A and B are shown apart, each in its own frame.
Chain A
Amino acid sequence: MLKRRSIQKIKERVIENSLLLSALSSIFVSIAIVFVLFYEAAAFFKGVSVWEFITGRQWTPLFAQPKFGILPLVSGTLLVTSIAVAVALPIGLIVAVYLSEYAPFKIKEVAKPILEILAAVPTVVYGYFALLFLTPILQKFIPNLSGFNALSPGIIMGIMIIPYVSSVSEDAMKAVPMHIREGSYAMGATKFQTAFRVVIPSAFSGIAAAFIIGISRAIGETMVVAIAAGMMPNWTWNPLEPIQTLTAYIVGVSLGDLPHGTLEYQTIFAAGVTLFLMTLFLNILGFWFRKRIREVY
């Protein structure tokens, strides 16, 4: 009896520790990401000065006379992201207000799964759609729109990230206690006034977190831009021209056959570090905002 119990105790211990080990694996993944990115990028920065990298306006790493200025890729990324954000943030917020304050139960039941599916469609399919459906239509209205451009993938990406923005914003609005709304209604305010002057300000932190998640998604999105935005590093803010984003550059280089250990191979890690730092900054900001929601109520 006693022996059985001690065996059981050992068994419990072993199980607990192996579960802990699984939980720790996620930390190993993070460490590995940082290590791999910075290890390869460090090798890159042995050949290229950091100053040239962050101030150079030309990115031609595969040319005979290579230039390693990351700015064209950053500007391409930010250009597409701003278009996507200009679409996703207002629409996402309106959807969230509608679903949280206005929509009847039946509409909610149907709308939410559809929004979820919108976020689940493979991005390569969206890329196809941007290149072969939206761009030709846009070209009818904007004659000097190039076949590859920042506008069309930006718009599609914007619609694609609506669900991310709307679902987190809606959760934040739902967390606003009912009595705050009731107070507003009791003063004779309409739903519109209550939503925009009471609920949105109260849910501000959560909505800010939702916006940041949306922006971070847009920056990291790859396939839509790799297919429809062209593969041309371009230091421009003109959405009608072909551009290249950080993510699309990594894809473009990976498609070719670059030998391990060359400077060209290391460029994708340098671009990766830039991308990682941008999204990490946004994720931390978003985390900070989300923590603030919990503190309020």
Chain B
Amino acid sequence: MISEGQTIVQIRRKIAFNKLRDYLFSIIGLVATLIGFVLLFTLIIDLLIDGFPRLGWQFFTSYPSRFPEKAGILSAWVGTTLVMVVTAATAVPLGIATGIYLEEYAKRNWLTHLIEINMNNLAGVPSIIYGLLALGLFVYFFKFGESILTGGLTLGLLILPMVVIATRESIRAIPNSIREASYALGATKWQTVKDHILPYSMGGILTGMIIGLSRAIGETAPIITVGALTFIAFLPSSPVTAEFPFLSFKWLFDPFTVMPIQMFNWVSRPQKGFHLNAAAAGIILLIMTLVMNGFAIYLRHRFRKRIKW
């Protein structure tokens, strides 16, 4: 850059310019990073202004209604809770088992390679495609209908790659010396996995699971595709019954709605009153997401600090 004919003044000017550009970029970078923060902040303020007055006891204990001021999210939050139970019951065992297999058991062969590529690809499939899969497979082929079971399974498959990736990363962080120590004492492979690998990687797995579930709570599109109703003025049948065997799984096959669908329904209506309800539902959704993600970030931070191999 510096040729012979340049005077010392020109060189100094050039250095000053480079330094200034460096400094300016550090400001631009900070501003760009803050854009996301500003959006999040504005979003929260906007929701609070519109929706906060609607947040009362009545909002949580009422069914949807034609009158915005009487409407509530009872069926939506109950539906979300039950769907999440099914989602967790699908994605967590399947995801952890897949992660353990790929990290601890799988040989380096074409099948393992295929499973890995496939997992990466599934993580990139748009969520609404999972909705179409569920519509064809769960609703019509397995005849589960437009039920809580269908919704939960769909979201379970959707977050499966996230649980698998979290499990693998956290298992990979365990040094080989731990495994060797276990084998040296005569433990079998499964004993090593069950008593050492799994407990030590639980922090990371838990983090991935919570982040996955927080994603599932906010997912709307695939649930609309499988035909969750937007107007449900009753609750699914109770999982606990008075007679033997005290547990009932009839709720799995009941129609349902979830929080984001209720919010979508209210946003799509022209009346201002329903928009306020949508904002209130949005606040609840946002709080759930923030709490779950915050907890996951805290867990990760804590486990990262505590474990030093």
Which residues in A have some Cβ–Cβ distance to B below 8 Å? Answer: 8, 11-12, 15-16, 18-20, 22-27, 29-30, 32-33, 36-37, 39-40, 91, 94-95, 97-99, 102-103, 107, 111, 113-118, 120-129, 131-133, 156, 159, 162-163, 190-193, 195, 213, 216, 219-223, 226-227, 247, 250-251, 254-255, 260, 268-269, 272, 275-276, 279-280, 282-284, 286-287
Contacts and interface: CB of A to CB of B under 8 A. Distances in A.
Given A12-B188, A192-B18, A220-B126, A125 B218 contact: yes
Instruction: Summarize B's interface: helix, strand, loop or mixed.
Output: helix
A97 B31 CA distance: 13
Contacts, number: 263
B40 A114 contact: yes
Given A26-B98, A118-B36, A159-B35, A250 B128 contact: yes
B289 A19 contact: no
A216 B100 CA distance: 29
B160 A94 contact: no
Interface stretch (B176-184, B221-229, B236-244): B221-229
A227 B267 contact: yes
Given A26-B164, A162-B35, A255 B224 contact: yes
A125 B126 contact: no
B221 A213 contact: no
Nearest to B104: A19
B127 A222 contact: yes
B117 A32 contact: no
Contacts of B19: 190
B122 A29 contact: yes
Contact of A97 (B29, B93, B127, B225): B29
Instruction: Summarize A's interface: helix, strand, loop or mixed.
Output: helix
B286 A121 contact: yes
Nearest to B190: A15
B32 A268 contact: no
Nearest to B1: A188
Contacts of B35: 91, 159, 162
Contacts of A114: 36-37, 40
26 contacts: A12-B188, A16-B101, A19-B101, A20-B105, A22-B101, A23-B102, A26-B122, A33-B132, A95-B36, A98-B29, A118-B36, A120-B293, A121-B218, A124-B220, A125-B286, A127-B264, A222-B221, A223-B221, A247-B126, A247-B128, A254-B224, A269-B136, A275-B128, A275-B129, A276-B125, A287-B117
